[in-house]
Amino acid sequence: MKNPKIVVLGAGYGGLMTVKHLEKKLGSHQAEIILVNKNDYHYETTWLHEASAGTLGPDRVRYDISSVIDRNKVELIKAVALEVKTEENKVILDNGELDYDYLVIALGAEPETFGIKGLKEYALSITNVNAARKIREHIEYQFALYHSEAEKREERLTIVVGGAGFTGIEFLGELVNRIPKLCKEYDIDQKQVRIVCVEAAPMVLPGFDPELVQYATALLESKGVEFRIGTAIKEATPDGIIIGVGEDETEEIKASTVIWAAGVRGNSIIEASGFENMRGRVKVNLDLRAPGHDNVFIIGDCALIINEEANRPYPPTAQIAMQHGEVCAQNIANLVAGSTDLNTFVFDDKGSVCSLGESDAIGIVFGKKVKGKTASFMKKAVDNRALFMIGGPSLVFKKGKFKFF
Amino acid sequence: MKNPKIVVLGAGYGGLMTVKHLEKKLGSHQAEIILVNKNDYHYETTWLHEASAGTLGPDRVRYDISSVIDRNKVELIKAVALEVKTEENKVILDNGELDYDYLVIALGAEPETFGIKGLKEYALSITNVNAARKIREHIEYQFALYHSEAEKREERLTIVVGGAGFTGIEFLGELVNRIPKLCKEYDIDQKQVRIVCVEAAPMVLPGFDPELVQYATALLESKGVEFRIGTAIKEATPDGIIIGVGEDETEEIKASTVIWAAGVRGNSIIEASGFENMRGRVKVNLDLRAPGHDNVFIIGDCALIINEEANRPYPPTAQIAMQHGEVCAQNIANLVAGSTDLNTFVFDDKGSVCSLGESDAIGIVFGKKVKGKTASFMKKAVDNRALFMIGGPSLVFKKGKFKFF
């Protein structure tokens, strides 16, 4: 009898966690495990704001997948998954196709531009290592151009961040630390640099504790960030953005750099494959299977699960994706063993820390509010924990974040 | 009686050397010394190829002028000199004007594009710190863009260097060391990077010893440089360059980066001020005064002096500019003292070393051919000597180049 073939799409937090747990639970005589990923490396999505701002080198935010998986048990295929043909139990890749007995879709999120004109063309999104490197270089290039042009263009030194959610705020936290160094390197008076954060919602970091939000906002403002809250971006142009002001007025903010960090959606493979979805996210069963598909699990940012207490979906976070991965691996192991008794995902909230640069942060950890250096220390612990859970102590040692205050 | 007012335009090798020697020779009761410079820093023109390639940080190639001059004796004015009105003994600055009793024009060279179409618009020249920073960022930005674009454009990774003279070759030497690091950082297969050096003359480094030239060419070729010697650039375009092939044919080389390093001319202020000149260089008297002007000295790259032995002009080098500065300062001191007995410039050739990256070089030092690590060591000694002559041991300590083999 042929071993069942388990295909995991995506080596992000959810996918890698699934594979690591499958490795432990299943012997190579019990199942064939295939991991499909676009790159031969995993990157820390939650650290990309640092690579984008230039405060962490792009190589620090990634590691080779082959260094954390058991190559005797797991086959790694470098490919882009384009579509799942569920009726044929088959995945279409950009360089071939792959059949499966069990499928895990762990492909992560994509930026959501809500149909705002020009954003796709003229704004940059913090989506992956390539995008982060491009953002870093784009900003530095504008600074480099400033003094070498005969006609001085102030907009070279204006950076607009669309969105004051987690990603937007964490990026701003890094940016305000990076700017003084860039100014020194490129002989630019820091007063000429303008950083504007535009957020359509009426508040910064919606859902976060108001006292902590106040702390974060005051800190970023003291370092030069202008907040335009309750303000919608109407359009992005080659010259900057157009925002709404009052009822019908608009205002142009000229800026050579526009970062869009205001929203994510599920992966487009979800729509391409015909799953019922809301913005690329599938309302999965609590055993993490797609409704109507007994052998297809959808985890991480593409899975939509309602938090009954708050009566709204859980946000797409690394913490949740990793917990999905654990449950998903267990359920597949059960199915392979012939059991239909599957586990249910229950979110174990370990808290949430939003960094504000190298040595500051805000957060709720074990139900307690933290801010400043304590919170920053906790944030690094959170980041190291993700490394530890996937790659053990050696990965923490290689890629971990340490700071001795 | 009013003290005579000595105005020195430019704080490059020649200008700074003049000021340093004037400081020593004249007390503050004897003369007023004014140094006019565009920036408040001096930069090492001979190191700009390193900053451009990204192998040396932009701050390593410059230092504050105020750290090397005696502020009690010398007034530093930050301004761009636009024109000299010799009949009125006056200099027009971008932010005012300045009269003088003695003037030293030490404003350095500008790129010469020989009327080749598109070069000014589409090529970058290694002219100053701003240009060097821009070149470095431009190249890195192309690498960053490569993987983030859906459609792969090979020309992003093509760099054309126009000119196989000193600057072109030294820049190539740095570039071939930098490329492997950039490739690693941006996940680029080094085979995809193309570096083409186009030179209209029939040889690399004209005037250099053929055996040494052979060594340099072979080294650069082994590191991936394609030489197109005896080949003229006909035009630069937004897409790259058009070169001449054979009699009437042309060929396009698509390249996102074109560096023009094939020629310099004197400063445009020379023409603007009505001095008789050849491409911005004035055939000065041997006492370094402009013919017909008893109180105007022209030194460095704008001075044209014939090397009688070789029957051609001395090249515009830092070594010669510094020797000019010494003679010029002595002559001004003599004039201030009422003497008309002026010294004559005699070139004291200390040799010439062309670097080929961090640890390789070729050169003639004290009449002897050197290459490899020895030459590279000599090159660093040359660079440190310039620092020493202007800023003494403390400047060598702060900005010097040391490598322990």
- The Cα A49–Cα A320 span in angstroms is 19
Show the low-confidence residues of chain B (pLDDT under 70).
1, 403-405
Which chain B residues have a beta carbon less than 8 Å from that of A138?
A: 141, 144
In contact, A75 and A37? CB cutoff 8 Å: no
Q: How far does B45 lie from chain A, in Å, by closest CA?
A: 16
The owner of tokens 């005589």 is: A29
Q: Are strands B306-307 and B312-313 parallel, antiparallel or unpaired?
A: antiparallel
Choose the closest CB to A144 out of B134, B147, B187.
B134
Name chain A contacts of B143, Cβ cutoff 8 Å.
137
pLDDT tens readout for residues B41-70: 999 999 999 999 999 998 899 999 999 999
Confirm or reject contact between B148 and chain A (CB < 8 A): yes
Q: What is the Cα gyration radius of chain B?
A: 22
Taking CB atoms and an 8 Å limit, are B59 and A185 in contact across chains? yes
> Could you tell me whether strands A124-125 and A257-260 are parallel, antiparallel, or unpaired per DSSP bridges?
parallel
Interface residue A136 vs chain B (CB under 8 A): yes
Q: Is B130 on the interface with A (CB under 8 A)?
A: yes
pLDDT digits (tens, 9 = 90+) for A93-122: 999 999 999 999 999 999 999 999 999 999
Between CA A105 and CA A284 the distance in angstroms is 12
CB B92 within 8 A of CB B81: yes
Contacts of A58 in chain B (CB under 8 A): 185-186
Residue B281, both tokens:
């260089």
Catalytic residue among B23, B44, B110, B170: B170
| Helices assigned H by DSSP within A157-225 | 166-185, 210-222
Q: Where does the pLDDT of residue A404 fall: very low under 50, low under 70, confident under 90, or very high at 90 and above? A: low
**B39 to chain A: closest CA residue:** A187
d(CA A361, CA A374): 8
Q: Does residue A294 sit at the B interface (CB-CB below 8 Å)?
A: no
| A342-370 mean pLDDT | 93
A150 confidence band (pLDDT: 50, 70, 90) = confident
Q: Work out the number of other CB atoms within 10 angstroms of the CB of residue B317.
A: 17
Average pLDDT on A12-37 reads 95
Instruction: Give the closest residue to B374 by CA, choosing from B362, B357, B385.
Output: B362
- The predicted pLDDT at position B263 comes to 87
B88 in contact with A, Cβ within 8 Å: no
Please, which residues 96-125 of chain B have a Cβ atom closer than 8 Å to chain A? none
B126, B48 contact by CB (below 8 A): yes
Residue of B nearest to A60 (CA): B185
Q: Does A192 touch chain B (CB under 8 A)?
A: no
Residue type, B200: A
Do A136 and B148 lie within an 8 Å CB cutoff? no
**What's the CATH fold of domain A119-263?**
FAD/NAD(P)-binding domain (3.50.50)
In whole angstroms, what separates CA A322 from the centre of its chain? 13
Please say whether the beta carbons of A138 and B141 come within 8 A: yes
Instruction: Confirm or reject CATH 3.50.50.100 for domain B5-38+79-109+266-349, answering yes or no.
Output: yes
Per-residue pLDDT of A195-208, as tens digits, reads 999 999 999 998 89
Return d(Cα B275, Cα B293) in angstroms, integer.
Answer: 10
Q: Does residue A80 sit at the B interface (CB-CB below 8 Å)?
A: no
**DSSP state for residue B315 in the 8-state scheme:** P
Active-site annotation of A, residues: 170
- Is the CB of A42 inside 8 Å of chain B's CB atoms? no
Does A59 score more than 60 pLDDT?
yes
Return d(Cα B270, Cα A174) in angstroms, integer. 48
> Is the ipTM value over 0.95, yes or no?
no
B59 vs A contacts (CB less than 8 Å): 184-185
Chain B nearest C-alpha distance from A199 (Å): 26
Q: How far apart are CA B361 and CA B205, in angstroms?
A: 13
Is residue A183 classed as helix, strand or coil in its secondary structure? Answer: helix
* B170 flagged as catalytic: yes
Does B181 lie at the interface with A, CB-CB under 8 angstroms?
Answer: no
Residue B403 pLDDT = 63
- Compute the C-alpha angle A365/A375/A68, nearest 5°: 75
Contacts A134 to B, Cβ<8 Å: 144-145, 148
| CATH fold match for the domains A5-38+79-109+266-348 and A119-263 | yes
Q: ∠ CA(A14), CA(A18), CA(A20), 5° rounding?
A: 120
* C-alpha–C-alpha distance, residues A13 and A37, integer Å: 12
Angle at B210 between CA B206 and CA B215, to 5 degrees: 105
Tell me the C-alpha distance between B23 and B18, whole Å: 9
Asked whether the beta carbons of residue A144 and residue B136 sit closer than 8 angstroms, the reply is: yes
**Strand B74-78 with B62-64, pairing:** unpaired
Q: Do B144 and A131 touch (CB under 8 A)?
A: no
B57 touches chain A (CB under 8 A): yes
Angle at A355 between CA A351 and CA A361, to 5 degrees: 80
Nearest Cα of chain A lies from the Cα of B61 at a distance, in angstroms, of 12
Chain A CB within 8 Å of residue B311 CB:
no
Percent of chain A past pLDDT 70, that is, above it, reads: 99
Residue B131, judged by CB atoms within 10 A of its CB (0-12, 13-18, 19+), counts as buried
A and B: number of Cβ contacts within 8 A: 58
Using a CB-CB cut-off of 8 Å, the residues of chain B touching A133 are 144, 147-148, 185-186
| Helix (H), strand (E), coil (C) string for B182-243 | HHHHCCCCHHHCEEEEEECCCCCCCCCCHHHHHHHHHHHHHCCEEEEECCCEEEEECCEEEE
Q: Give me the residue spans of the domains in chain A.
A: 5-38+79-109+266-348, 119-263
Range from A19-33, A354-368, B200-214, B389-403 carrying the lowest mean pLDDT = B389-403
Q: How far apart are CA B274 and CA B84, in angstroms?
A: 8
First to last CA, chain B: 58
Chain A contact set for B130 (CB, 8 A):
144, 147-148
What integer pLDDT is reported at residue B405 of this predicted model?
46
**Dist CA B249 CA B244 (whole Å):** 6
Q: B150-186: string of b/e by CB count within 10 Å (b at 16+)?
A: eeeeebbbbbbbbbbbbbbbbbbbbbbbbbeebbeeb
Residue A397: pLDDT band (50, 70, 90) is confident
Phi then psi for B364, rounded to 5 degrees? -120, 120
What CATH number should be reported for the domain whose range is B114-261+351-405? Answer: 3.50.50.100
Of A39, A137, A186, the CB nearest to B133: A186
Q: How far is B115 from chain A (nearest CA, A)?
A: 20
Burial B223-239 (b: 16+ CB within 10 A, else e): bbbebbeebbbbbbeee
Which DSSP symbol is given to A187?
T
Give, in order, the Cα–Cα distances in Å from B69 to each of B28, B64, B327: 13, 9, 18
Which of A39, A134, A153, A259 should one mutate to test binding to chain B, selecting the residue with the greatest count of B CBs within 10 A? A134
Whether the CB of B38 is below 8 Å from some CB of chain A: the reply is: no
Distance, CA of B53 to CA of B1 (rounded, Å): 53
* B130: phi then psi, degrees, rounded to nearest 5: -60, -45
- Contacts A130 to B, Cβ<8 Å: 144, 147-148
DSSP secondary structure string, A330-389?
HHHHHHHTT------------EEEEE-STT-EEEEETTEEEEHHHHHHHHHHHHHHHHHH
Given CB atoms, is A145 within the 8 Å cutoff of chain B?
yes
Q: The dihedral of CA A9, A12, A15, A20: what is its sign?
A: positive
Contact B137 A133 (CB under 8 A): no
Q: What is the mean pLDDT of residues A383-389?
A: 90
Q: What is the pLDDT of residue A405?
A: 46
pLDDT band at A393 (very low <50, low <70, confident <90, very high): confident
Length of chain B: 405
Residue B150, pLDDT score: 84
> Could you tell me the two tokens for A34?
């295939």
Task: Tell me, yes or no, if A38 comes closer than 8 A to chain B by beta carbon.
Answer: no
Is A5-38+79-109+266-348 a CATH 1.10.357.20 domain? no
Mutate to test the interface with B, among A56, A63, A137, A156 (most CBs of B within 10 A): A137
